[in-house]
Structure 1
Amino acid sequence: MKNILVLGSEGFLGSVLVPYLLKTGNNIIGVDKCFFGKNNTKSNKFKLHQIDYKNMSKEFFFGFDVIIDLINISNDPASELNRKFTNITNYSNKINLYNKIKSSKKLQRYIYMSSCSVYGNNQNLITEKSKPKPISLYSKLCLKYEKFLKLKKKIPFTILRLGTLYGWSERMRYDIAINKIIRDMLFLKKIEILGGTQVRFFCHNEFACTAINKIIAENKKKTLNKVFNIGNFNTNIILLTKKILKITKYKDVNVYHEKNTIDKRSYKVSINSSKQFLKRNSNFDKLTNKSILDTFNKIKKDKKPFAKKKITLTVYKEFLKKNRI
């Protein structure tokens, strides 16, 4: 049993990760400003601090075996709303955090959630050795902080570059490709494709939790101070739409295709690194199909699929306006 701190525990991934880790018998402390509400159910092994982690004392961080950092303004349009605020959230605050935890003698691993979007536009098959070509402010700051961690080497870290996430969460998001496609086909009977030829690496949120948990449980040197691309399949948006319709067997959906798009990112990522986080001989295709069908079945039961809080951009717009940042 380990004492684990999850920064951003109430977000899209955090709201799946906390219950996942609780099942493995760990004690979890969450820290979150709760932009999107309190999304984890109460447990005697989970405690939430509703506060900005930059205001936590240095001593607070010394009690943890593992710190998982999920805090980022991770939506590209949201990150561009207020570049100063994004720089502070995605980089400056993390440097301050690093300076607080670097002298912790108990810390076994700091896990930082980065993104495969650091690869920008690349026609070759991506591995961790591929040269990053970040385009957005979000991806540039992810890479900048990665470089800081690698340069300092004062704490034991693992960097996970996640593919585009999807799946059900108590803090649901419909501004990410698979979730939005499924929502629109269910409740609007239509799917809108912008561009569509851009390739993406996708990662089911529960698979991301599996990778995180394995790093925590094994704590082996093979993941120490290293970067891993994490996801379960690649496809472009046109083929993704066809895949979802085929898996779900959903009929009577109108598909609209607008060839122009401002999204310049396109990258295909090797799944070789991801394989080591699953059981031997696991079938990625079956796991992917099951995860998409599971996401479909859960979204189908969503009673408020168009709630404002389920669009990251909308939430940050309201926050910035309210706080005059």
Structure 2
Amino acid sequence: MARFCITGSAGFIGSSLARYLVSQGHEVIGIDNLITGRLENLQDVRDEMEFHCLDVRDRDSVTPLLKGVDVVFHEAALPSVPKSILDPVASHGANIEGTFALLLAARDAGVRRVVYAASSSAYGESPSLPKHEEMPTSPISPYAVQKLAGEHYMQSFARVYGMETVSLRYFNVFGPYQAADSPYSGVLAKFITGMLAQTAPTIYGDGSQSRDFTYIDNVIAANMLAASAAANSVSGKVYNVACGQRYSLLETCNLLMPITGYQCQPIFAAARNGDIQHSMADISKARRDLGYEPSVSFEEGLRKTVAWYSQNDGAANRPAVSIAI
């Protein structure tokens, strides 16, 4: 049994990690300031973990909590491209200052490894597909810049302080517990809950834009592999976490129609500033170094997610936990 800390533990990905770790009998410490996270996401494991309502920038409070922790999963962020454009100051504070403060606290507490939630948005609008970790980065939005800066801090702390760090570039994560009631919510959460309510989904742009949608179970598996891999193989490195396939938003709508029972056409709106057109990952590096293999396909993930929202009618209307697309 190991001792883990999850920042952003009341969010979509953080709470999913917490549920998995608790199910495996590990000790779990959760940290979340509840600005975007919801305690309801942890209701089934709240009594089996230690939770602290804190901002990761509060080093004096966070550092003592990390004493004796083996691995920190750093999921805390304001994860939204549009929000970072509208309010770059708040986004900068959470995503850059928060990551820096967390690394200092982990260093001072003697944490062995930090696994960082990086973002595929770091690649920017490069036309080259699939995206691989050795290609130049070209972030567009403040959010993308901030998440890339976090990667550089991870690499710096690995080289300068000898801390083990691994950065995982998530590609469009979706699944249960992702809220859909905010303009910053994940596109699939909004599509699915809208279709189940027989409301036309809104596509920003012409619908040809494509994404490498990645079901949450694949992301949890990648985090666990990153936490346990040999340090000399992975420390200071960056890995794509995805399925290695892409689907356009129109294709996605067509796949969801028979699953949700919705048959009408989507609504089209103007493309959003800062969004990229196409994204697809090369996951060969994660396969080689981590032993990562996505176990849940896109279509299976859609079915699982639709089933969860169908059984949790109120989930889409709770305060949002957003994730950039």
**How far 1:135 sits from its partner (Å)?**
0.8
Which of 167, 179, 195 in structure 2 is aligned with 1:172?
179
> 8 Å contact 1:210–1:278 — kept in the other structure?
no
Contact 1:9 1:18 in 2 (8 A): yes
Note closer, same or farther for the CA distance 1:31–1:265 as it changes in structure 2 (3 Å cut): same
Equivalent positions of 1:20-59 (< 5 A) are 20-35=20-35, 36-38=37-39, 39-40=41-42, 41-42=44-45, 45-55=48-58, 56-59=61-64
> Are 1:302 and 2:303 matched, yes or no?
no
Deviation of residue 296 (structure 1)? Answer: 0.8
The answer as to whether partners of 2:179 and 2:322 remain within 8 angstroms in 1 is no
Preserved contact between residue 12 and residue 173 of structure 1 (Cα < 8 Å): no
The answer to whether structure 1 residue 197 and structure 2 residue 205 are counterparts is no
Greater percentage in strand: 1
Once the two structures are superposed, residues 203-260 of structure 1 have per-residue CA deviations (whole angstroms, 9 ceiling, x without a partner) of: 21121111111222444532222101101232221222223335x2734333334475
Task: Return the match for 2:70 from 65, 69, 82.
Answer: 65
| Alpha carbons of structure 1 residues 149 and 310: separation in structure 2 relative to 1, 3 Å | closer
- Once superposed, what is the RMSD of the aligned Cα atoms? 2.6
Take 1:14 and 1:78, find their aligned partners in 2: how far apart are those partners?
20
Q: Say if 1:96 and 1:18 are closer, same or farther in 2 by CA, change over 3 A.
A: same
With over 3 angstroms needed to count, the CA separation of the structure-2 counterparts of 1:43 and 1:304, relative to structure 1, is closer
Q: What letter corresponds to residue 168 of structure 1 in structure 2?
A: P
Q: 1:150: how far off?
A: 1.6
Is 1:224 equivalent to 2:235 in the alignment? yes
Q: Which residue of 2 aligns with 1:253?
A: 264
Please name the residue that 1:113 is paired with.
Answer: 117
Q: Is the 8 A contact 2:172 2:214 kept in 1?
A: yes
Asked if 1 retains the 8 angstrom alpha-carbon contact of 2:180 and 2:316, the reply is: no
TM-score normalised according to structure 1 size: 0.85
Residue in 1 that maps onto 2:91 = 86
Q: Evaluate the alpha carbon distance shift between residue 294 and residue 80 of structure 1 in structure 2; reply closer, same or farther with a 3 A threshold.
A: same
Partner of 2:281: 269
In the alignment of these two chains, the number of paired residues is 308
1:311 and 1:216 mapped to 2: Cα distance? 24
Partner of residue 152, structure 2: 147
Contact 1:200 1:234 in 2 (8 A): yes
Give the TM-score taking structure 2 as reference length.
0.85
Structure 1 residue aligned with 2:11: 11
User: How far does residue 77 in structure 1 lie from its aligned partner after superposition?
Assistant: 2.0
Is residue 156 from structure 1 mapped to residue 167 from structure 2 by the alignment?
A: no
Q: Show the 5 A alignment for 1:274-285.
A: 274-275=286-287
- SS of the equivalent of 2:33 reads coil
User: Post-superposition shift, 1:57?
Assistant: 4.8
Q: Residue 297 and residue 150 in structure 1: after superposition, are their counterparts in 2 closer, same or farther (change >3 A)?
A: same
Task: Name the counterpart of 2:225.
Answer: 214
Answer yes or no: is 1:127 the counterpart of 2:126.
no
Q: Which residue identity is paired with 1:48?
A: F
Shift of the 283–203 alpha-carbon distance from structure 1 to 2, 3 Å rule, reads closer
- Does the 8 Å contact 1:198/1:264 carry over to 2? no
CA distance change for structure 1 residues 54 and 192 in 2, over 3 Å: closer, same or farther? closer
Deviates more, 1:204-213 or 1:181-190: 181-190
Letter in 2 for 1:234: R
Q: Secondary structure at the match of 2:238?
A: strand
Cα–Cα, structure 1 residues 135 and 283, in superposed 2: closer, same or farther, change >3 Å? closer
Cα contact 2:225–2:291 (8 A) shared by 1: no
Letter of the 1:12 partner, please give it: F
Q: Structure 2 regions of 5+ residues with no counterpart?
A: none
**Residues 90 and 43 of structure 1: CA distance in aligned 2, closer, same or farther (over 3 Å):** closer
Look up the SS of the partner of 1:161 in the other structure.
strand
- Other-structure match for 1:318: none
**Gap runs ≥5 in structure 1:** 314-325
Contact 2:118 2:147 in 1 (8 A): yes
Q: Tell me, what secondary structure is at the counterpart of 1:9? A: coil
AA aligned opposite 1:135: I
The verdict on how the C-alpha distance between 1:60 and 1:182 changes in structure 2, with shifts beyond 3 A counting, is closer
Q: 1:70 to 1:306 in 2, by over 3 A?
A: closer
In structure 2, C-alpha distance between the alignment counterparts of 1:19 and 1:274, rounded to whole Å: 24
Percent of aligned pairs sharing the same letter = 19
How has the CA–CA distance of structure 1 residues 301 and 277 changed in structure 2, closer, same or farther, with 3 Å as cutoff?
farther
1:268 Cα shift? 2.3
8 A Cα contact 2:82 2:273, kept in partner: no
Per the TM alignment, residue 173 of structure 1 is displaced from its structure 2 partner at its CA by: 3.8
2:255 corresponds to 1:243: yes
